[in-house]
């Protein structure tokens, strides 16, 4: 279920939960969840709650606890104990589609797992297993487990409707806070290029809150096709430019020094594109570079080695044991 929330660093989570409980601000019946090295806590009065615990206001989908029960509680006795213990604690919800990360060996229990998820998450109509993200388009390999047989849905993120085809384009609902954060940094009049836009969440957020010239570039035409649907749904026609193609080809036709800001959310390869980006950024222009690394220092180093000046680093998604995706906010030195 969708709810306002506050996000706090994991090491401060217990203290935050205690304070929110004492003040009666915790939203009952919804289960807090981890995202990007932080705990997202559903709350009643987000502004007051954020001030109380020193966290950030957010909005996300949460699992509904049926008298404190999760989807795994509904599977007790239905699956062998070792299979149950190996299942992930949570799953993603994109619109009304749930996607759970499973291994090949857990798939044969898929139908039972899907039923348990749909019992707990009343808004979920479709359940897929993801066997991992693959290829240049970063598209998940999906196996249908239960519910309707469709892959298209509309996801809501801070009031924006995002059309997603989960089988044909990348989308991570755990990045909602990051999409909004970056949009909040853009100033009216800026020229912004989102070089690996996917279905366009950064670009849509920016176009909604700022009068900027925003280019959303992606090599996956299905992703751009989803973005076109979202532009219409959100009444943002004429507010952003979609480019279906390679980021390097786009950059090659941009004049030097005209971009105020670039967004580079292609965590394994973004730094390889920095040499192409640098001449196009104005002096002091911003680059938000997403990098897989084991520490903030390692992420900042990967960006500074390419000639950008890191200004701030924050972890945005857990990637693997002791690996995170970091957002490195950086500037072109003058």
Ligand X SMILES: C[S@@+](CC[C@H](N)C(=O)[O-])C[C@H]1O[C@@H](n2cnc3c(N)ncnc32)[C@H](O)[C@@H]1O
Is residue 32 within 8 A of residue 49, CB to CB? The reply is no
The three-class DSSP label of residue 267 is coil
The nearest distance, CB 217 to ligand X, in angstroms, is: 5
Is 175 an interacting residue with respect to ligand X (CB under 6 A)?
yes
Q: What is the dihedral of CA 177, 178, 183, 185, to 10 degrees?
A: 110
Smaller CB separation from ligand X, 74 or 215: 215
Is 197 an interacting residue with respect to ligand X (CB under 6 A)?
yes
The count of residues interacting with ligand X (CB under 6 A) is 21
Stretch that binds ligand X, among 74-82, 116-124, 190-198, 301-309 (CB under 6 A): 190-198
Which three-class secondary structure string do you get for 297-310? Answer: HHHHHHHHCCCCEE
Is residue 331 within 8 A of residue 309, CB to CB? The reply is yes
Is residue 316 within 8 A of residue 175, CB to CB? The reply is yes
Pick the binder of ligand X from 98, 207, 226, 266 (CB under 6 A).
266
Q: How far, in Å, CA of 162 to CA of 154, rounded?
A: 5
63: closest CA among 138, 123, 145?
Answer: 123
Which tokens in the block code for residue 275? 């040499």
Pick the binder of ligand X from 3, 153, 265, 330 (CB under 6 A).
265
The nearest distance, CB 170 to ligand X, in angstroms, is: 4
Is residue 20 within 8 A of residue 49, CB to CB? The reply is yes
- From residue 213 to residue 232, what is the string marking binding to ligand X with x (rule CB under 6 A)? ----xxxx--x---------
Smaller CB separation from ligand X, 159 or 284: 159
Smaller CB separation from ligand X, 192 or 266: 266
The nearest distance, CB 322 to ligand X, in angstroms, is: 20
Q: Is the dihedral angle over the CA atoms 98, 328, 4, 183 positive or is it negative?
A: negative
> How far are the Cα atoms of 13, 55, 89, 117 from residue 41, in angstroms, in the given order?
9, 10, 16, 20
Smaller CB separation from ligand X, 74 or 202: 202
Cβ atoms within 10 A of the Cβ of 318, count? Answer: 16
The nearest distance, CB 265 to ligand X, in angstroms, is: 4
The nearest distance, CB 122 to ligand X, in angstroms, is: 26
Smaller CB separation from ligand X, 16 or 316: 316
Which tokens in the block code for residue 333? 């030195």
What single-letter DSSP state applies at residue 69? Answer: B
Is 326 an interacting residue with respect to ligand X (CB under 6 A)?
no
The nearest distance, CB 155 to ligand X, in angstroms, is: 10
Is 201 an interacting residue with respect to ligand X (CB under 6 A)?
yes
Smaller CB separation from ligand X, 27 or 138: 138
Is 35 an interacting residue with respect to ligand X (CB under 6 A)?
no
Is 310 an interacting residue with respect to ligand X (CB under 6 A)?
no
Is 138 an interacting residue with respect to ligand X (CB under 6 A)?
yes
Is residue 36 within 8 A of residue 9, CB to CB? The reply is no
Q: Which residue of the chain is nearest ligand X when measured via CB?
A: 198
Q: Is the dihedral angle over the CA atoms 24, 92, 74, 127 positive or is it negative?
A: positive
The nearest distance, CB 152 to ligand X, in angstroms, is: 16
Smaller CB separation from ligand X, 43 or 243: 243
> How far are the Cα atoms of 212, 254, 296 from residue 270, in angstroms, in the given order?
23, 18, 16
Smaller CB separation from ligand X, 54 or 275: 275
Footprint on residues 241-260 left by ligand X (CB under 6 A): 246-247
Is 3 an interacting residue with respect to ligand X (CB under 6 A)?
no
Q: What does the binding site for ligand X look like in residue numbers (CB under 6 A)?
A: 136-138, 170-172, 175, 196-198, 201-202, 217-220, 223, 246-247, 265-266
């Amino acid at each position: 279920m969708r709810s306002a929330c506050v996000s706090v660093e994991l090491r401060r989570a217990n203290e935050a939960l205690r304070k929110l409980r004492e003040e009666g601000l915790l939203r009952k019946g919804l289960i807090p969840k981890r995202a990007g090295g932080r705990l997202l806590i559903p709350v009643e009065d987000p502004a007051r709650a954020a001030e109380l615990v020193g966290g950030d206001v957010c909005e996300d989908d949460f699992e509904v606890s049926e008298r404190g029960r999760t989807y795994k509680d509904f599977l007790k006795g239905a699956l062998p104990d070792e299979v149950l213990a190996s299942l992930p604690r949570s799953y993603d919800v994109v619109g009304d589609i749930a996607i759970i990360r499973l291994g090949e060996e857990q798939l044969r229990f898929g139908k039972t797992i899907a039923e348990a998820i749909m019992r707990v998450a009343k808004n979920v109509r479709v359940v897929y297993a993801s066997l991992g993200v693959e290829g240049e388009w970063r598209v998940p390999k999906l196996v249908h487990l239960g519910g309707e047989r469709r892959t298209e849905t509309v996801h809501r993120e801070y009031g924006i409707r995002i059309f997603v085809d989960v089988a044909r384009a990348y989308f991570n609902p755990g990045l909602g806070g990051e999409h909004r954060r970056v949009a909040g940094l853009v100033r009216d009049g800026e020229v912004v290029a989102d070089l690996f836009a996917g279905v366009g969440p950064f670009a849509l957020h920016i176009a909604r809150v700022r009068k900027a010239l925003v280019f959303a570039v992606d090599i996956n035409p299905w992703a751009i096709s989803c973005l076109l649907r979202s532009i219409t749904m959100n009444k943002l026609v004429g507010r952003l430019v979609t480019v279906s193609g390679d980021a390097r080809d786009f950059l090659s036709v941009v004049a030097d020094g005209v971009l105020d800001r670039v967004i580079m959310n292609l965590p394994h390869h973004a730094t390889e594109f920095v040499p192409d980006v640098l001449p196009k950024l104005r002096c002091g222009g911003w680059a938000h570079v997403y990098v897989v690394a084991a520490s903030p220092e390692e992420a900042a180093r990967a960006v500074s080695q390419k000639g950008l000046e890191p200004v701030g680093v924050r972890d945005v998604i857990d990637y693997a044991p002791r690996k995170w995706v970091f957002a490195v906010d950086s500037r072109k030195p003058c």
